[in-house]
Amino acid sequence: MRQLILKIHSRCNLSCDYCYVYESIDQSWREQPNTMAPATLDQVAQRIDEHAKSHDLRELEVVLHGGEPLMAGHAALAGALEKMRAAFPATRFAIQTNGILLDDRFLALFHEYGVRVGVSVDGGPAATDLHRRYANGRGSYDRISAGIARLMEPEHAVIYGGLLCTIDVDNDPGEVFEALLAFRPPRIDLLLPHGNWTTPPPKRDRPLAYANWLIRVFDRWYDHRPVETNTRIRLFESIIARLFDRPSATETIGGEQPGIVTIETDGSYEQSDALKTTTEGGPATGLAVGGQSLDDVLDHLAVAAPYRLSAKCQACPVVKVCGGGLRAHRYSAGNGFDNPSVYCDDLLTLINHIGGRVRADLERAVSARR
Ligand code: SF4
């Protein structure tokens, strides 16, 4: 077990139209309790404790997730963090939030437990308010940016994890990147909107729209990597890492990463949330913290959801880098997961572009040394 994603609160104060939790074919959130109960948290802590002891774990990352995890409230979050730290003191914590409720009490709590805070924002006001809205249609950029501004205060740099941006190819990539950089994030995650061969992602009919968008951002980042913030972009760094046989840091690149499990607010174990976009019950495992250990669920996933590449991927010249893309993006109703990624053409083009740029630089460096 490397990473546990804990759904501490299953509802959200926003109603983003691309949300894979509420807007996908899987509607299991409707059956989930709003907040993880203290008794369920006790069971989670017990599972962490037994797993850490039986594997002599040196570290484990717990990501507090939702819905919107800050809606659980200060006391519930403090209780959850304390239980998990008591179960395994080497636990590293992160939280993924929309930042709207971020206040002094949460910030103090995150300092106390060393919680790295990631905030979801899609660029500047226009780009963000295009999708990230309240249920009444009002944009959320003002509140989100106020939350990020708190994290930008120097004393909070140590808990500022970075930004998560979901791509809309209608937003200008240069403007989005500059708007994100203005928040001086240590890291940016660029998320391809979820979709598959049966339910394609938005604007999938425009050939290479995602590759071209990402290439514009890559070239800007690679040529003028912001020295002041040294902002990292996990997608690009993972592609470069795989070009040199190093591990990827994202499931989108390089094949699936075993050892990641989600626990829903009712204590059920699930696979990646992205599978909510495939079928009703797509991420379900049928197992729960009350009955099964973390070893049980990892064994179950190894058998029930093995990592297999389609014939096209196996013959692909960049498979070592790409790994077939995210599992959820490979799904089709007729063929299950036995497909390349629905983003195949975009991934191939992006990987070839990044590979070409990096190789050209290396060749220049080698000849300069000679
Ligand atoms: S680029 Fe396409 S064919 Fe190649 S590994 Fe990725 S998804 Fe498979």
- In which residue ranges of the chain is CATH 3.20.20.70 found? 3-304
What number does the ligand 1 atom closest to the CA of 330 have?
A: 7
Q: Average pLDDT of the chain?
A: 92
pLDDT of residue 209: 97
pLDDT digits (tens, 9 = 90+) for 57-73: 999 999 999 889 999 99
CATH class belonging to 3-304: alpha beta
Q: What is the residue whose two structure tokens read 């960049």? A: 318
Nearest Cα residue to atom 3 of ligand 1: 313
Name the residue type at position 338. D
What number does the ligand 1 atom closest to the CA of 344 have?
A: 2
Q: Which residues of 251-283 are buried (b: 16+ CB within 10 A; e: fewer)?
A: bbbbbbbeebbbbbbbbbbbbbbbbbbbbeebb
pLDDT digits (tens, 9 = 90+) for 27-48: 676 677 889 999 999 999 999 9
CB-based contact 106:70 (threshold 8 Å): yes
pLDDT digits (tens, 9 = 90+) for 127-150: 999 889 888 999 999 999 999 999
**d(CA 350, ligand 1 centre) in Å:** 11
Q: Which residues of 93-116 are buried (b: 16+ CB within 10 A; e: fewer)?
A: bbbbbbbbbbeeebbebbeebebb
Mutate to test the pocket of ligand 1, among 251, 347, 353, 354 (most ligand atoms within 8 A of CB): 347
> Per-residue pLDDT averaged across 315-344, rounded?
95
Mutate to test the pocket of ligand 1, among 252, 341, 349 (most ligand atoms within 8 A of CB): 341
What number does the ligand 1 atom closest to the CA of 317 have?
A: 4
What number does the ligand 1 atom closest to the CA of 340 have?
A: 7
Where does the pLDDT of residue 280 fall: very low under 50, low under 70, confident under 90, or very high at 90 and above?
confident
Read off the tokens for 143: 């509140």
What number does the ligand 1 atom closest to the CA of 315 have?
A: 3
pLDDT digits (tens, 9 = 90+) for 87-133: 999 999 999 999 999 999 999 999 999 999 999 999 999 999 988 98
Residues with CB under 6 A from ligand 1: 312-313, 316, 318-319, 322, 324-325, 340-341, 344, 347-348
Residue 170's closest CA among 224, 117, 123, 218?
123
**d(CA 320, ligand 1 centre) in Å:** 9
Where does the pLDDT of residue 199 fall: very low under 50, low under 70, confident under 90, or very high at 90 and above?
very high
pLDDT of residue 29: 65
Nearest Cα residue to atom 2 of ligand 1: 344
**d(CA 345, ligand 1 centre) in Å:** 8
pLDDT of residue 319: 97
pLDDT digits (tens, 9 = 90+) for 205-226: 999 999 999 999 999 999 887 6
Measure the CA–CA gap between 79 and 39, rounded to whole angstroms: 11
Nearest Cα residue to atom 6 of ligand 1: 324
